[in-house]
Structure 1
Amino acid sequence: MGIINSSFRTLSSYLQEDTYFIPEYQREYSWEENELEDLWIDLTQLYEGELRDHFLGQIVIHYNDEENKKYIIDGQQRTSTVAIFLSVLRKKFYDIHKSNGFEDAKIDGDDITTQYIGRITDRRDELKLVLGESDRRFFKDYIQKTDRVDEINQRKLSKSEKRIYDAFNYFSKRIDEYTEETNNVDKRYDILNNLFTTLVRNFKVMYVETDELNEAFIIFETLNARGKDLETSDLLKNNVLRVSGNKLPDVQSSWYKMLDNLGRIDATRFIRHYWNSNHKFVREKDLYKSIRNIIDSPKKSQELVENLEELSLTYSALDNPTEEIYFENELLNEKLKDLKLLGATTYYPIFLAMINENFKEEEVLEMLHMIEKLIVRNFVVAGRVSNKYETNFASLAYKISQHEYTTIDQIKDYLKHLIITNEEFKSSFKTFTVKKKGVVRYILRKLNSIDNIETDIKRDNNKIHIEHIMPQSPTDWHMSPEIHEQYLNRLGNLTLLGDEYNKECTNSTFDVKKDIYKQSNIDLTKDLMIYEEWNEYKIQDRQADLANKAMKIWKI
C-alpha cells in the first residue's frame, strides 16, 4: 500500500513533527460556525472533565519524495482550524503579558509560535502549515504572523478569507465569554493555559502517511467509507482526482466551480441525476461504485467533471426556478416554477439529457407540459408513488443521450404511455384530498384560469391564502367530527382568498363567508355564491364540477 507511517497521535505530536502543505487542488477554507462550535464544545467538555480524550479525525498525508514535502490529503480543514485556534490563544497570552507583565503568558505564546505555528520574518520562513495559493497570503498575515494585521477591510476579503477571519473572531469571542467572570489575572491565565494544554495533548488524530498519491486517495476513501460523515460526493471527488493524473489541476478547478454553481444544492443528488441522464439507472447507494468502475483515466475524469461544471448552472436553475432565471423562454421558466410547487424532481435526468443533446427550449417546454400532466394525474391526484417512475424517467433520458430518441414527438409518446387513463384520473379527482399548500395553490390557480385566462392569480403566498370553506375550527358549524375530518382537505372544500379578506373569514359561518367571497376578484371563489348552504354533499358536488374542469386542463 505504500504506507510509511501510521499511528494515533496527539495534536502536539502531529503538528510539531514537520511542515505540512495543502495541495493546490484542495478546496479553500470552508468551516463555518456550526463546525467551529462543535470543536469548541468538544474542547470545553474535555477541559471540564466530561471527557478524557477526543478523536478529532484522521489525517492522511502524501509524502512527495521528489519535492521532499508532506501534503495533507485528508484533514486540511481540521488542521487549519486548529492553527487558527492556536493563533487566538497566542494572542490572548500576549495580551496578558502586555497588560500585566505576566512572563509565563509570554512563554506560552512563544511556545505556540515555535512549536505549532512556526516562525516567520522577512528572512525566515519556518511555518508549520502552508495553505493553497488562494488562502496562503491572508492566512500567513492574519493568522500565522505574530505582528499580525488587525485592521481588515472585510468587503475586500474573498469568501474563504472571510471564513478564516470569522473563525478567528469566533474563537476569540468564545474564549472571552468563557473567562469573563474571571477578574483575577492568574485565574485567567490558568484557564487559557489549561485550554491550550487540553487541545494539544487530549485531542487525538489517526495519522497515516504514504509515499504514493493514489494510495493516499484510496486510504482516504477506505477510512471514510465506513463512517457516516463522508458524503457520496466526497468519495466521488476523491476518485476523479485520484485518476486525473496530469489533468488534476483542471479537474480540481472544474469540480469546485461546479460546487460554487450549485450553492446549497446537494452535490450528490445533482451528480446522480446527471449520471442517470446518460447511463443505466443507479440508486444513490450504488452511484460511487458505478462511477468508479467507469471513470478510470485522466481523460474520462476531465470529461466528466467539465460536463458536470457546465450542467451545474442548468441544474441550479432547474432546482431553484424562482431564484435563477436562466432560460430565454419565459414560459419555460414559469413551467419550472409550477413543477417546483408540485415537488417534482424525478424527471430531472430527462431535462439534463435534453439540454446536453441541445434540444431547443421550445422542445424542452413541450416535454415539461407532458411531465406536468403525468405528475398531476398520476402522483398528485391518483396517489401513485413517484419513485416507481424514476427508473422510467432514467430510461427515457438514457435513450435520449444514446440518440435512440432524437425528436420531441418520441419523447412525448414515451411519457404519454406512462400517464393514467382519463377515466381513472376523473374518478380519482372527484374524491382526492390534498394537504400540501404549494400543490393546493397550484391546482386552484390552474382551475381558476380555465374560465379567466386574462387574470393570473399572484404567486405571492403572503397576498393569496388557501381558504378552507368549511373551516379548520368549525365552532359554529353543525357537523360531526368524523365528517369534518373526512372533508376538511378535500379539494372541493378549498379555494383561494386575498390577504385582505382571509383574516375576516377565519371560522365564520358560511353565510358570513359568502358576503366576503363576493368581494373577491378570484372567479373560483366568487362562484361559491351559487351555494345556499355548505356541507359534505356540496363539497362532493363542487369537487365533481372541478373534476370536469381538470379534464380540460390536464388532458392527454
Structure 2
Amino acid sequence: MINVKSKPRESILKEFLNDIKPIHDPQQLIDKILIPFGEAFYEINNQAYHSDILAEKVNQFFRWLQLIDNSDWIPPAIFYLARNYSNPELLVRFFTDLDRLASGLMIQRANINERIERYSKLLYAIEIGEDLYASHSPLQLKMEEKQYILKILNDDLYLMKKIRLYVLIRLDTALSEGKASYHFHNITIEHVLPQNPISNSVWENWFVTQEERDQYVNRIGNLVLLSSYKNSQAQNYDFELKKQKYFTTKTGVSNFALTTQVLMEKEWTPEVINKRQEQLIDRLKQIWRLQ
C-alpha cells in the first residue's frame, strides 16, 4: 500500500515481487524500508513510541486509532512515523489529524474503496512533501464531510450500532480530561429515558406522547455509559430510582464522566435532553474540529 498506493489485485507475494522488486537491492530494502517500517508498525500496535517529550500523547493517538473498525489508516501511519520518528512535535500534529480523519471516515461509514482512495492520496502527499495541513490536503476533512459527520452525531446515534460506543467513549474521555481508562468490552450504553417506559410512570408526565419519546430516546443527549454488569440488570425505572440503581457505585459516583452528569439533574425532561445534546455535540466539535 505504501509503495503502490492501491489495494492488492493479486496475491501479496506476487505483487511484492513485481512492484517492490526485492531482488534488485535486497540490502537497501531491508535496511531502509523493512526494518524502519517494521519498527514503526510494532510501536503503533503496541503504543510503544519512545521520546523524551510527547511520547504519551503520540501513544494515546495510537490507542484511539486501534479502536477504528478498519486497518486502512495503518500504511500512512507507518510511513509518517518511520520518516519523522525523531520529531515528536510533528508526530503529535500529524496523528491528531490522522485520528480525526480515520474517525470521520468511520462515522460517515465510508466504504473500503473510498478509504483506500483517500489514504492513497495521503500517502502520495506525504511522499512528495505536500503541506498536509492545507485545507485541500487529503489529511483534512472537507467542509461537506464535517457537516455530514455533525448530522450523523446529532441524529439518533444509538441506532448507529457500529459507531455509537466509540463516539461515547471518545466523548467520555474528553469530559474526564483524559483521566479515565476503559475496558472496552465491559462497557454498554444505557438510555436515561427508557425505550419502553412503564405506564403511569414519571416518564409519561415528562414525555406525553410516543412521538415525543421517539424524538429524544436514541439521541446522544439521552445516552450514558455503564458497566455491562450494571446494564444487564437495567429495567425501566423512574428517574430517581434509576439514578440510585445504575448511575452510582459503592463509592457514590459513576465510573463514567458522561454518566455522572445525569446525577446532577433533578428531572429528565425534553428541555434537559436538548441542553445536554447541545453541550455534548459542542464537545465533539472540539474533539474533531468540526466547526
Tell me whether the two structures share a fold, i.e. TM-score over 0.5. Answer: yes
Secondary structure of residue in 1 paired with 2:190: strand
2:267 to 504, 526, 532: 532
Instruction: Judge conservation of contact 2:189–2:231 (CA < 8 Å) in 1.
Output: no
2:253 to 517, 520, 536: 520
Instruction: Judge conservation of contact 1:466–1:496 (CA < 8 Å) in 2.
Output: yes
Instruction: Judge conservation of contact 2:44–2:62 (CA < 8 Å) in 1.
Output: yes
- The one-letter amino acid of 1:348's match is I
Instruction: Specify the alignment match of 1:63 in structure 2.
Output: none
Q: 1:514 to 1:383 in 2, by over 3 A?
A: same
Structure 2 Cα separation of the partners of residues 369 and 419 of structure 1? 18
Instruction: Specify the alignment match of 2:198 in structure 1.
Output: 476
Structure 2 Cα separation of the partners of residues 483 and 435 of structure 1? 22
Structure 2 Cα separation of the partners of residues 434 and 308 of structure 1? 39
2:182 to 420, 443, 459: 459
2:17 to 271, 292, 297: 292
2:114 matches 1:385: no
Instruction: Specify the alignment match of 1:426 in structure 2.
Output: 150
Q: Alpha-carbon deviation of 1:362?
A: 2.9
Instruction: Judge conservation of contact 1:332–1:365 (CA < 8 Å) in 2.
Output: yes
Instruction: Judge conservation of contact 1:366–1:408 (CA < 8 Å) in 2.
Output: no
- The one-letter amino acid of 2:181's match is K
Q: Alpha-carbon deviation of 1:337?
A: 0.8
2:234 to 501, 506, 519: 506
**Identity between Structure 1 and Structure 2 (%):** 20
TM, length-normalised to structure 2: 0.71
Instruction: Specify the alignment match of 1:367 in structure 2.
Output: 94
Q: 1:391 to 1:287 in 2, by over 3 A?
A: farther
Q: 1:296 to 1:545 in 2, by over 3 A?
A: closer
Instruction: Judge conservation of contact 2:121–2:138 (CA < 8 Å) in 1.
Output: no
- The one-letter amino acid of 1:554's match is W
User: Superposition RMSD on alpha carbons, in Å?
Assistant: 4.0
Instruction: Specify the alignment match of 1:415 in structure 2.
Output: 139
Secondary structure of residue in 1 paired with 2:2: helix
Q: Alpha-carbon deviation of 1:336?
A: 0.9
Q: 1:485 to 1:417 in 2, by over 3 A?
A: closer
Q: Alpha-carbon deviation of 1:555?
A: 1.0
Residue ranges of structure 2 left out of the alignment (5+ in a row) = none
2:74 matches 1:345: no
Q: Alpha-carbon deviation of 1:338?
A: 0.9
Instruction: Judge conservation of contact 1:465–1:499 (CA < 8 Å) in 2.
Output: yes
Instruction: Judge conservation of contact 2:221–2:280 (CA < 8 Å) in 1.
Output: yes
2:277 to 531, 536, 543: 543
Q: Alpha-carbon deviation of 1:393?
A: 1.2
Deviation digits for residues 515-549 of structure 1, max 9, x if unmatched? 343643444223224362468x9766643442222
Q: Alpha-carbon deviation of 1:405?
A: 0.9
Aligned residues: 269
2:217 matches 1:495: no
1:358 to 84, 94, 109: 84
Q: 1:317 to 1:434 in 2, by over 3 A?
A: farther
- The one-letter amino acid of 2:24's match is K
Instruction: Specify the alignment match of 1:69 in structure 2.
Output: none
Structure 2 Cα separation of the partners of residues 406 and 414 of structure 1? 10
Instruction: Judge conservation of contact 1:426–1:548 (CA < 8 Å) in 2.
Output: no
- The one-letter amino acid of 1:524's match is L
Q: Map 1:263-282 onto structure 2 (within 5 A).
A: 276-282=1-7
TM, length-normalised to structure 1: 0.41
Q: 1:434 to 1:317 in 2, by over 3 A?
A: farther
Instruction: Judge conservation of contact 1:498–1:520 (CA < 8 Å) in 2.
Output: no
Q: Map 1:256-267 onto structure 2 (within 5 A).
A: none
- The one-letter amino acid of 1:496's match is L
Instruction: Specify the alignment match of 1:333 in structure 2.
Output: 59
Q: 1:461 to 1:392 in 2, by over 3 A?
A: closer
Q: Alpha-carbon deviation of 1:339?
A: 1.4
- The one-letter amino acid of 2:277's match is Q
Q: 1:386 to 1:370 in 2, by over 3 A?
A: farther
Q: 1:452 to 1:550 in 2, by over 3 A?
A: same
Instruction: Judge conservation of contact 1:469–1:493 (CA < 8 Å) in 2.
Output: yes
2:129 matches 1:405: yes
Structure 1 Cα separation of the partners of residues 121 and 235 of structure 2? 49
Structure 2 Cα separation of the partners of residues 368 and 281 of structure 1? 22
Deviation digits for residues 334-358 of structure 1, max 9, x if unmatched? 1111111122422222112213323
Q: Alpha-carbon deviation of 1:449?
A: 4.7
Deviation digits for residues 399-455 of structure 1, max 9, x if unmatched? 323xx216664699441254645443333321034324xx544433433454552x6
Structure 2 Cα separation of the partners of residues 487 and 284 of structure 1? 46
Structure 2 Cα separation of the partners of residues 297 and 342 of structure 1? 32
Instruction: Judge conservation of contact 1:491–1:543 (CA < 8 Å) in 2.
Output: yes
Instruction: Judge conservation of contact 1:450–1:553 (CA < 8 Å) in 2.
Output: yes
Q: 1:458 to 1:298 in 2, by over 3 A?
A: closer
Secondary structure of residue in 1 paired with 2:24: helix
Q: Map 1:49-68 onto structure 2 (within 5 A).
A: none
Structure number with the bigger relative contact order (C-alpha 8 A, sep ≥ 6) is 2
